Every structure is written in structure tokens, then in C-alpha cells.
Structure 1
């Protein structure tokens, strides 16, 4: 799959967050009032949506391996002064299975990109309060 095809898929995806504090669906390029309110209440201005599943979208890892990779990502996140909420990246067409992910609030853009690169992700979703979420390509 080409970079352009990956980007097209990521732009169509829904990034769902489900927690007692916040349940919402994030779309790239579309401002999310629920997320803005949550960020304001938690005194954070930035966020990222990241997974460790399916490195470089090669579909070479098993569900067990993907769960293990996400657990390692969660352990990395738990040592930082940020908030982490479970989520899932969803393909609305159903062609691709969903990927367990995390909404991370209070993370810098650079730190989010570094995490995406560390966990071999093509891209991450990053946002700032009151601004539209953006897709950031993390591969060279």
C-alpha cells in the first residue's frame, strides 16, 4: 500500500474514546467540542491518539503480539505526567479490524511523534484544544 493510500485510510478512520469521563469519536480535521471540554476540565491543551498495533501497517503481528505491544506502550505512558484513556481506531467501512489505542492528554507534539516512531507507526493523530485534529506522518 502506498503512503497516499495509508493516509486516505487514516483520514477516513474514526478514533473512538470510551471512558466514564469521556466517550466520543474523533475525526481528523473536525473539531470535537466534547474533547475540548474534557481538555479544559483536565487542564490540558494538547492530546494525541496513538497505538502500538500493527507496526507500519504490515499486518504481520498477531493479536497477542499487538496486545503485548500496546501493554508496553501503556507502561511507557504511565511513567509520564499525562492522562491516558483507552480507545480504538475504527475503519468505518469494516475492511480493516479496529486497533486498540490510547488517547493521551497533556503530551507534546514532539513526544507524540517520538512515541509513534518508537512503536513503528506510520502516523499518529495529534490535536490542540479548540483546533482541528491533524494526522502526522511519522515515517521517514
Structure 2
């Protein structure tokens, strides 16, 4: 993995997380192709997607109401910028970290997703390219 200030246990937690999409019987797992994305890529005429959250900036656990406010602000900003997305929630299968509300944004290139993640003080984002394989993009 690239040079990072993030501790190894946090990186392992990101690797194990199930990046879920509301209303779907599938989720994004880092490094594993998700063929279900193909239909959405086609529907939205895109070749990529980014999984973003505004919750728990820089890994600092915030109260639910502050995370909810940050997510509302993120959705409003995405809407103003003309992006389409599906709601999601990142889940720690070990249960050591609470689920984080998230969005899967259609057609957002990795460089743009990095900027959005940095704007919302995130340690990392998840990006899926044309191969439909989600990968972790470290921001710190």
C-alpha cells in the first residue's frame, strides 16, 4: 500500500468493510469485481463510480446527529454539482466501528473523488473503475 500516516489496523478495517448499497443484495468489497455495477454503469452511461461519506472526519467518531448533518450537506453539494448517486452504508463486519452512511456516486473519476473526500476530511475513499473492482484510495 502507498505511504500513509494511517495505522495498519485502520487500513485493515477499511479492507474488511462491506460497502453496502441500500435496497441491493450485493455490496462492494475491496479488490473483488462487482458485476452488478455493469447495469448501473450502462444506465448512467458511465465507466466509474465513487463511494463517499462525510461521516467521522479523519476517523474521529462524531455523534449521530453531526454525522447526519454532514451527510445532508454532502448530498446537497453533490446535487448542486449535478451528480447522481445511490444511498449506501459502510459496515464493519466485526462490529468494532458503527456503520457510516455513504453514497455511491455514478461517473465520478478518481481525481474528482479524491477532491471530494479531502473536502469532507476523509482518510480514504473507495473508487471503482471500468473493471468494476473497488479499490481504496488513501487521502492521508
Q: Same fold (TM over 0.5)?
A: yes
User: Is the Cα contact below 8 Å between 2:46 and 2:106 reproduced in 1?
Assistant: yes
With normalisation by structure 2, the TM-score equals: 0.90
Match of 2:32, SS state, is: coil
Match of 1:38, SS state, is: helix
Gaps in structure 2 of 5+ consecutive residues: none
Matched, 1:52 2:54: yes
Aligned length: 136
With normalisation by structure 1, the TM-score equals: 0.90
Matched, 1:5 2:2: no
- Summarize deviations over 1:57-106 as a string: whole Å, max 9, x none: 122x2100000001111111002232111000000111111000000011
RMSD: 1.6
Matched, 1:34 2:44: no
Deviation at 1:5, TM superposition (A): 1.6
Deviation at 1:13, TM superposition (A): 0.3
Gaps in structure 1 of 5+ consecutive residues: none
Match of 1:31, SS state, is: coil
Deviation at 1:23, TM superposition (A): 4.8
Structure 1 stretches of at least 4 aligned residues deviating more than 2 Å after TM superposition: none
Q: How has the CA–CA distance of structure 1 residues 47 and 137 changed in structure 2, closer, same or farther, with 3 Å as cutoff?
A: same
State the alpha-carbon separation in 2 of the partners of residues 131 and 86 from structure 1: 18
